[in-house]
Structure 1
Amino acid sequence: MNFPLETIPVFVGAFVTTYVIYWIKNLKTNKNEPPMVPYKFPIIGHTLDYLFNAENFLAECRQKYGDPFNIYVFGQVNTIAGNEIIHEVFRNDVFNRASATRDAFPLHQVIKSHNPETTVQIIKTVREGISAKLPLYTGRMQKQLVISINKEIGDCSNPKLIANSIFKVMIARPVADILVGQEISKNEDVIKAFADFTEDFGSIVGLPPILSFIHPKLHSEFITLPLRFGWNPIRKHMVTLKKNLKPVLEKRLKDKEILGDKYEPPLDIIEYILNNPKYETKSYYLCSLW
């Protein structure tokens, strides 16, 4: 019995497809790993439930299997830890937040100075410079929120339709106050840069990771492709911050040099960076971080 050569690719393709479906359908976890929630559709897994009915789907999984458990979404096994044990995950040295978010949020493609080392330092900066000093920031944050409410919403003596875009500006004011200081957090261009940054960066990472069904890296390569050809939606915001930050940094460095021990450091992340030996203290370098 003779088979035409043209049929060979068909048989090979059918074999590979069957094997892949069988492998995905029978994903196994080790004995010491959380249980894998069964799913109906090979390759797709729990993706549809997660996209369109996440709250009920996760609640049902938690009720049946407890925390933690595994689900198969967009071609990857994802572990849902749950509220009670998530703090243990973050404290564990095995968990690397930088590598976990690198593909989903490719900041290294948008900000050239961003790398795994700076990610670790940023996490430490947030922990020591913001979280540890949050009570000291509370009053300033409340003040900035009141300013935003009065400016963006007003007294509402007459009925007024409030656009969703207002809220990003309201949040941007206290964020700018904490990060870049009170000197320039009143600058409306700076506020706009902070307000628009997340939305513009979201235009890069907002696409559903459909290509992750083939391979997780493929989606990351696809969404960052325009960046490699020079398109960077947040460049204008970085330029705004550089322009406004540089004179402030230069003045602080000069005051610190002149006043010495009498220098009273402002409370913000920029000052934290200036006083941290792990960061350079040259103003041009600090500006280049953006």
Structure 2
Amino acid sequence: MDYLNTLTTHNTHINNAVDLVRKFPVTQKLTDMYKRSSKNELLFIGAATYIALYNFSAYIKEKRQKLNNPPAVPYGLPIFGHSLYLIFFPGKFMDWCNEKYGEMYNLNLRGKTVTVVGGKPGEESMKSDATELSLSDAIVRDVLHLDYVFDENVLGHSLTTVPEVVKIAVTNSKMPMYVPGIKSGLKNACDALLKEKTTVIQGPSRFFQNFVAYMTVPAFVGDEFALNVDVIESFAFFTGDIIKNVGTFMMIPKPLHKFVLPYVQSAKKHHDCMLKYIAPAVRARRAKMQAAEEAGEEHGLVDDFLQGIIEYIHTDENGVESNIPAEDIAHIILLVAFASVHTTSMNTSFCIYWLLARPDLMDSLKEEMERVIPGDSPVTAQALAQMHFLNNFIREAIRQGVDKLSKGRKAVKDYTFANGYQVPKGRLVSVASRQMNFGGNFVRNTIDGMDPEMSKNKPVTTPGRDFISFGAGKHLCPGRFFAVQEIQMTLIYLLRNYDIATVSGNPPKPVYSLAGYMSTNSEEPLIFTRKN
């Protein structure tokens, strides 16, 4: 205050301005509020002011851009925009938006403009090149913030190396070779997680993540890790540890994230686990490969995903070729765990709860199992191909589990859609997945309306304009063949060996929503009773 008095004394214009501000009625009210407020109240007011100014600056910047914007949906609420509509009645709100504004419109979500696309613009968004609309920038960096967990080198491999190796190592034609490994993983999972005659599962999400990890680990990194509990648990729970932080990062402006990072869930233990076990395995395999090469022999190593990464030749920006270091491969495997276990476990959970919610579907599946693979007949790739009801049921369960608003992409530059509408650089473009998956036939989106026959024997792994759960175009999920085979074999194995029910005895709701528009599985406790 002394400094202010000195300054105003030597500058008449500043002095007059300060006197004028002091005379404003609002100045006196703000001064009184400051004197009455506690420290926590002042911190809250400061944070709210910062967020408001942060969002307002983005709003001003957007208004200065002269683009042919999609129609803006009105009735946004102060601060919340349209977020509360999505939280409390997402289906009805998005149906109304779709009917009123068509296949493309703008919503205000938490102070940011988001362009929602469905129909042809939705397909265009999902098939777009990453140099125009980037899935990585939108999901990996702006939602999951995996750039806080992995360095840019590892993230770069996740976008280039991993898809290339998956397309070679986990193709549809190679699925028969994974059947024995999945069978072994299923037995190991049940021996570890369903030991008792009767087992009550209080946390279904963690159970299914752990269950799927038992199948995934041997297939992706080798049989030597089939019973390595540390590796299996990192595969299972790394995803959950990352997702726990998403809500915090969504609520706090990005410039402040660095201040909260020390206080959120850390991934260090998972990195340490991969470095402890996977990196030495990589070095051991490379030593065996080198010895075999020097002896002029085949190395004899299993052609799994880890081997594909080990043998991959990376070319840097200067054209220099090299193998990926063992430590980087260990981190890449952790990133693959994130992508592989979470979606497979969630879709497996959807399937189980649908069977419990609809006993008629359970009866139909058991009838097909007894007809195609009676008794203890072996489950083979050929037998799975004959199980049309199983295929249709899984396809519909995955269709039902789609987010109402999902698969966001971030505009890397100003982008013009085929219909003439434009989005500015930095804009998030989200797909109205529910509208696309059901084509307006939302009767199918109910428990009683769920009908596997509507899939008409189309393979689960085949995309369509009315089935975008695995993506579209060149961005189709490359691991979908393996994931679907895991789900198929899990359902058969569990139904053959266990009676499954809800602890309450009531039919469950198969699909729940997070924040109104992101799908998640039921957490209703389950009881598994081993058959004699």
TM range (shorter): 0.7 to 0.9
Whether contact under 8 Å (2:80, 2:111) holds in the other structure is yes
Asked if residue 248 in structure 1 is aligned to residue 285 in structure 2, the reply is no
Asked if residue 222 in structure 1 is aligned to residue 264 in structure 2, the reply is no
State which drifts further: 123-132 or 245-254. 123-132
- Equivalent residue of 1:262, what SS? coil
Q: 1:37 to 1:8 in 2, by over 3 A?
A: same
Which residue matches 1:214?
none
Please report the TM-score for the alignment, with normalisation by the length of structure 1: 0.75
Please point out which of 100, 103, 106 is paired with 1:67.
103
Asked if residue 105 in structure 1 is aligned to residue 144 in structure 2, the reply is yes
Please point out which of 58, 69, 80 is paired with 1:44.
80
Whether contact under 8 Å (1:280, 1:286) holds in the other structure is no
- Equivalent residue of 2:133, what SS? coil
Distance in 2 (alpha carbons) for counterparts of 1:59 and 1:134? 37
Identity over aligned pairs, percent: 22
Which residue matches 1:283?
326
Q: How does 1:175-214 map to 2 (within 5 A)?
A: 175-207=216-248, 209-211=250-252
Which residue matches 1:89?
125
Whether contact under 8 Å (2:311, 2:323) holds in the other structure is no
Unaligned runs of 5+ in 2: 1-16, 31-51, 315-321, 335-532
Q: CA RMSD in A?
A: 3.7
Asked if residue 238 in structure 1 is aligned to residue 271 in structure 2, the reply is yes
Distance in 2 (alpha carbons) for counterparts of 1:86 and 1:146? 41
Using CA pairs below 8 Å that are at least 6 residues apart, which structure has the higher relative contact order? Answer: 2
Asked which structure has the greater CA Rg, the reply is 2
Give the deviation of 1:160 after TM superposition: 3.4
Asked if residue 262 in structure 1 is aligned to residue 298 in structure 2, the reply is yes
Whether contact under 8 Å (2:221, 2:306) holds in the other structure is yes
Please report the TM-score for the alignment, with normalisation by the length of structure 2: 0.44
- Equivalent residue of 2:103, what SS? coil
Letter of the 2:142 counterpart: D
Distance in 2 (alpha carbons) for counterparts of 1:100 and 1:75? 16
The count of residues paired between Structure 1 and Structure 2 equals 270
Which residue matches 2:189?
148
Which residue matches 1:35?
71
Give the deviation of 1:157 after TM superposition: 5.1
Which residue matches 1:119?
155
Whether contact under 8 Å (1:46, 1:73) holds in the other structure is yes
Q: 1:180 to 1:53 in 2, by over 3 A?
A: farther
Letter of the 2:215 counterpart: P
Distance in 2 (alpha carbons) for counterparts of 1:148 and 1:193? 15
Cα displacement string for residues 73-111 of structure 1 (whole angstroms, at most 9, x for unaligned residues): 011111223376544324322112222231322222223
Cα displacement string for residues 145-195 of structure 1 (whole angstroms, at most 9, x for unaligned residues): 4542453235x8547345322112012223333443332243111111122
- Equivalent residue of 1:247, what SS? helix
Distance in 2 (alpha carbons) for counterparts of 1:239 and 1:143? 27
Whether contact under 8 Å (1:106, 1:224) holds in the other structure is no
Unaligned runs of 5+ in 1: 212-217
Asked if residue 163 in structure 1 is aligned to residue 203 in structure 2, the reply is yes
Cα displacement string for residues 38-79 of structure 1 (whole angstroms, at most 9, x for unaligned residues): 224244210111223323322332233232332110111112
